[in-house]
Each structure stands twice: as structure tokens, then as C-alpha cells.
A and B are shown apart, each in its own frame.
Chain A
Amino acid sequence: MKGNKIAVSLREISKSYGGSKILNNVSFNVWEGEFLVILGPSGCGKTTLLRILAGLDEQDSGDVLFYGQNVSGLPPRKRDLGVVFQEPSLFKHMTVSQNVGFGLKVKGVPKYQIVKQVSEILDMVGLSGFESRMPNSLSGGQQQRVALARALVLKPHLLLLDEPFSALDIKTRQKLRSDLKEIQQKFGITTIFVTHDQEEAFELGDRIVVMNSGKVEHIGTPEEIYDYPKTEFVASFIGTVNVIKSRVENGKVPLGLIPLELPPGSKFNEDDPVKVLIRPENIVVEKSIKKLKSEEITTGKILNMVLLGPMVRIKVSLGHGVSLISARPKAEVSEQKLKEGDKVFVYISKYSIFPEETEILITVPITKILKV
């Protein structure tokens, strides 16, 4: 991976508040220089985990290791890290440069060095010339840049960010995101970034930790998580997905007329109830059968089509009460002159099968997709 050293190691971290378990045996490693994103729905324990990493809260059990050293129980200032919270939390009575220089000042760094380092870091976050401004005269985006500079000026080994851009407008958010990534790479600083925004997670993360209800569901690169989700939750939380209930028959899973193969190594018994999850872009809709290569093909009928930017969302009925949402590039659709009511061939290029009884925590049911 990134470096070959493990910078941060979480070992079976658990934490409860008032009898309810907020974190449940969370374990993972972060490589030196890696940009790791923790992604999960609101309330899944992301902030709690980050606060434990920072030393602002203490875990009930488990260990936090930085470069192999157990830092559990150490206060934040003994952990050599920088934190950026959702709100910039700039000290209101200090100028921008006093804010940024705060960490150096309490460390006893000489004044002339503080001035030099502060101006260097402000330059890097694009705020040269803002030294003597007061926080309340800055925009939200600028304030968050100052907060980032304030954390980075100490050259910490680890940077922790808790949804730092979620209160900003989309344009500012995107700009800050790419600037952060650039700065992170320049510094080579190990970074843990918490968000509930999958777009942000996919853009920033070298790897993504998907969390749900205090548990790690999947750790992997964005591609791994998107294409080969380990759990139904991961599949349904990330991107949009068709969820179809079925049952194992003769070692296959019938979907309309298509008998889908069970994934190799899966332990399903005959007649087990299952759920098939298929991403819209993995459903190919063609007018002629010649273009399709697999035998997992069925016929269907286009019920409706909606143009969504560069993609067209197509609802196809496969008969037997099954209909799917497909997403095809606009060019492909117009080339084939697809229209509502057309009889088409449908091919499913990729899918996942999960046992029926898995708890559906977040799913995107077909009816919901349709209303978009």
C-alpha cells in the first residue's frame, strides 16, 4: 500500500454510551501516508471513533496504536496529531496568524520562527495576506482553510478530519476537497477523514472504511467497495442498486427468466431465500441479441426512460412481476433508438447475492429510484 509502515492501528475498539454500544470491536490499520476515509450513515459512530483516535474520549476496551506504540490513555497533546472539526472553531479573539500560530506558541517556538512557519502554511492553503484578519471576517471556506493550516503547521504525524466540509456549499466543498488532497499528498501525511458523503469518500479515499451501527462493514479501495461489496449494507449504501427477492432453485437464482449463477464459494442451500443486488449500470439493454455475449440473457420491455445528464435511466420489465432499473450512456441509447414500449434483450453483467434474512438497513428500492 502507500508506505509500508502501519501508522495507525485500531484493535477491537468498543465504546458504549448509557448502555448502548456505539462502537463494537472496530479494528483496522492505516498505512503511513495513506488517505483513509471512514464512511457511514449519521449516528454510526464515526465521530466517536475519531474522538477516541484524537484522545478526546477514551474507549471502553481495545487499543489504539500509533507506529506500534499504545497511545490509549494519552491526552491529545501527547499524540502528535492535528484535528479539523466540522465547524472551523477558530479562536474568535485571535487573528488568522495567531490562530495558526497557536500550537507553535504553546510549544514555546520562538516568535520569528512562528511568523515564518505561519506564513508558509498560509501560502499553502491559499490564504497569504490574510494574516491579520479576524475569523469572523472570513467566509466559511476560508475559516476551514485556517483550521486546516492551524492543524498542519505543527507537522503532525496524523491528520484527523471530521466532516470538515459538510457545512459548505457544493462549489466551495469541491474546491477544498481537491486542495486538501493535493496538500495531503505534498505533505505525505497520514490522514483519516470522516464523512457520510459517498462522493467525497470516493474522490478522496485511497481506501474506504464503511461503517454501520458501530461496526466495520467493509474496508477496501473505492473500486473494491463499489464492485465487490462484502455486505448487503455496503452494496445498498453506496450508489444506487436494484434489490430483488428470489430463492435458490436447482443451484441457481432465477431472476425473471434468467437463472443467475451463485457466486463461487457461496454457501446457499436449495430453496434458501436470497436477495439479488444489481447496480443499474450493470444491466445492459440491447435491441439485438448479437451484441450480447452471455447466456444470462432474457427479454424485456422498456416501461419508461428518463434522461439524467449523460445517462439514461431505463425501467425494463422482465415479466413474472420483475422489473429493473438500468442506466445506460445517452449516446448508446440514441444510437439504438431505444424508446418506451420497445422489446429488448437484457443482460446482467455483474450482481451480488446475499441471504434474504440480512437486515436491510438502507436500501434503494426500485420504486424510489423511479420517482427521481
Chain B
Amino acid sequence: MKEFKNGLIPYKVIDHAIKYSLVGLVTGFFLLLILFPLSSMFVYSSQGGLLGFISKITSPAALFSLKFSLIVAFSATLCNVAIGTIVAHVLTKYDFPGKKALDAFVDLPIAVPTAVAGFTLLLLYGPAGLFGKYFSERGITLMFAFPGILLAHIFITFPFVVRSVSAVLERLEKKYEEVARTLGASGFQTFIYVTLPSIKDGLLAGSILTFARSLGEFGATIMVSGNLAMRTQTAPLYIFSRFNTGDIQGASAVAVVLAVLSFSILYGLKYFMGESE
């Protein structure tokens, strides 16, 4: 080897130095930002042993919050599958003035801070709000109740189904629908038998993203729900409340369940995406 010739450090050594310091940095980040916090959560949740964990997680308020979160996430997903598919269809198949602007608005919920989103919904649909007044005069409460939370979650997760379905629809060639039409299918039959099976994958991917995002939603939810235990408290809100009252163990127990749930969804999605390719 002729290294250190001319008194220069060879490139290889520099390359190695860069490589390992970067790997070290990334590993450090990973440990500090992800692994340590997560494991400490497990440690805290298991401080009372398995029995302690079970008693914390089976407390009525904890169970309610988990159940409520699942119901909200499921409903929001269902709504956005329906709305999102229609929006994706309109945005990819039709041409109309203002289409570009509408298309840009789809992504708005990602850009708007969640607390701001919740706040605006509160202003509009709250008991004193423009629309809320109309409903409350008729005895319907939207805010600080399930409808308000659902509305917030639909808003926050709106882009996911739209984007994943339009990506598929854009690639889906018009000719298949035309063939179906020449074979006697009505517009509805064409959608059910030809279009739907082709967008199935996109729909599922969008649904999973929606569900996961809804499960973890905090900022908008705390604004519109009023954070009422056993009534409007989702799991993330429960964690927050328990922590505030010093019940670290109770907060950790629900946090662990929520984290495991989200991980399963994420890996389910990855597995599913790998399968379909």
C-alpha cells in the first residue's frame, strides 16, 4: 500500500471517517429520539408489574378512550373512503374551471396546524358559531360531542384517500371503462366491476393512512372535544390528562397500547404494499 505518500491522507480513509461518523450520528438520533423514549414508556407502564398494567388499562376511562379512538378512527376512515373516492374521481376524470385551485385545496389540511383547524371548526360549529347556532337551536350539539370530533378527524385526514386513489386513477386507462361500456355495462356497473377492483389497492393504502393518522390525532381533537372523560376523550387526550394529573403509569399503559396499534398498522401497510408489487 502506498498510503500517506506525499503526506496526504488517502480518500479511502476520509470516506471511511465520513461514513462511520454519519452512521454514528444516525444511530444516536435513533436511540435518543425514538428508542429511548419508547422503551421508557414500556418501563413506566410495567412499573406496577403485569397486574398493575392490566388494572391501569382496564380502568373504565382508559378502556373508553381506546374504544372511542377506534370508533372515531373507523368512522373517519369510512367517511373519507366515500368522500375521497368521489373527490379523486372528479379531480382526475373531469375538466372544469377552478379544478387546479380545488386540487391544491385538497392538501390544505396537511399544511394547517391541527390546533388551528380545530379552532376554526369550533368557531363555525360551536354553540355560538355561524352554523352551530342553527343546530343548537334545534337541540343538536356538534361540538364537544362525537359529531364535532368526527368532523375534525375527517378534515385532518382528508388528503390521504384522495391522493392515493387519484394516483391510481390517473394511471388507470380510460380504455378499460370504454371496453366495459361497449360490452353493455352501465356507468354504475363499470365502476363496480372495472374501476373499483383497479383502485382497491390505492383505497386500502389511503384508508390505512387515514386510520393511523386519526388514531393519533391530538391538536384538533382537544379543541373540539372539550376533553370530557368517558364522553369525548380519545386515547391521546387520555394520555395527556393522566400525565397532567401525575398518573404516569396510567398514561404509559394507554400509550403502549396506542403505540403497538400504530406500529401494527404501519407494518401492515408496508407488508401489504410489498405484497401488491
A residues apposed to B, CB below 8 Å:
54-56, 75-77, 81-83, 85, 87, 89, 91-93, 102-103, 105-107, 150-151, 154
Are B182 and A76 in contact, with the CB atoms below 8 A?
A: yes
Are B182 and A56 in contact, with the CB atoms below 8 A?
A: yes
B134 proximal to A (CB < 8 A): no
- A83-B179, A106-B193, A154-B183 known, 8 other contacts, Cβ within 8 Å: A75-B181, A76-B178, A76-B181, A87-B175, A91-B193, A102-B183, A102-B185, A106-B180
Are A103 and B181 in contact, with the CB atoms below 8 A?
A: no
B269 proximal to A (CB < 8 A): no
A103 to B183, CA, bound (A): 5
A81 in contact with B182 given A93-B197, A93-B198, A106-B189 (CB within 8 Å): yes
What's the least CB distance linking A88 to chain B, in Å? 9
A85 in contact with B184 given A91-B194, A93-B197, A93-B198 (CB within 8 Å): no
A102 in contact with B180 given A93-B197, A93-B198 (CB within 8 Å): yes
Enumerate 28 A-B pairs (CB-CB under 8 Å) in ascending A order: A54-B182, A55-B182, A56-B181, A76-B178, A76-B181, A77-B181, A77-B182, A77-B185, A77-B186, A82-B182, A83-B178, A83-B179, A83-B182, A89-B176, A89-B179, A91-B197, A93-B198, A102-B185, A103-B183, A103-B184, A106-B180, A106-B184, A106-B185, A106-B193, A107-B184, A150-B179, A151-B182, A154-B184
Q: Which chain A residue shows the least CB distance to B187?
A: A75
A87 to B189, CA, bound (A): 22
When distances are taken between beta carbons in the complex, the residues of chain B under 8 Å from A54 are 182
A76 to B181, CA, bound (A): 6
Chain B interface mostly: helix
When distances are taken between beta carbons in the complex, the residues of chain B under 8 Å from A75 are 181
A37 to B125, CA, bound (A): 65
What's the least CB distance linking B196 to chain A, in Å? 10
A76 to B184, CA, bound (A): 7
A360 to B45, CA, bound (A): 87
Interface string of B89-125 (1 = CB under 8 A from A): 0000000000000000000000000000000000000
Interface centre among A102, A151, A154 (most CB of B within 10 A): A102
Are B178 and A56 in contact, with the CB atoms below 8 A?
A: yes
Q: Which chain B residue shows the least CB distance to A88?
A: B179
When distances are taken between beta carbons in the complex, the residues of chain A under 8 Å from B181 are 56, 75-77
Are B183 and A106 in contact, with the CB atoms below 8 A?
A: yes
A151 to B179, CA, bound (A): 9
A71 to B13, CA, bound (A): 79
A81 to B183, CA, bound (A): 8
Question: Restricting to B116-167, which residues have a CB under 8 Å from any CB of A?
Answer: none
Are B186 and A106 in contact, with the CB atoms below 8 A?
A: yes
A113 to B140, CA, bound (A): 55
Are B175 and A77 in contact, with the CB atoms below 8 A?
A: no
A82 to B181, CA, bound (A): 10
Are B179 and A85 in contact, with the CB atoms below 8 A?
A: yes
Partner of A77, one of B173, B176, B184, B194: B184
Partner of A102, one of B178, B186, B193: B193
When distances are taken between beta carbons in the complex, the residues of chain A under 8 Å from B176 are 89, 91
When distances are taken between beta carbons in the complex, the residues of chain A under 8 Å from B179 are 83, 85, 89, 91, 150
When distances are taken between beta carbons in the complex, the residues of chain B under 8 Å from A151 are 182-183
What's the least CB distance linking B252 to chain A, in Å? 45
Q: Which chain A residue shows the least CB distance to B192?
A: A106
When distances are taken between beta carbons in the complex, the residues of chain B under 8 Å from A105 are 193
Q: Which chain A residue shows the least CB distance to B175?
A: A89
What's the least CB distance linking B157 to chain A, in Å? 28
Q: Which chain B residue shows the least CB distance to A87?
A: B175
What 10 A-B pairs have minimum CB-CB distances, sorted nearest first? Answer: A103-B183, A83-B182, A77-B184, A76-B182, A106-B185, A93-B197, A76-B181, A89-B175, A106-B189, A89-B179
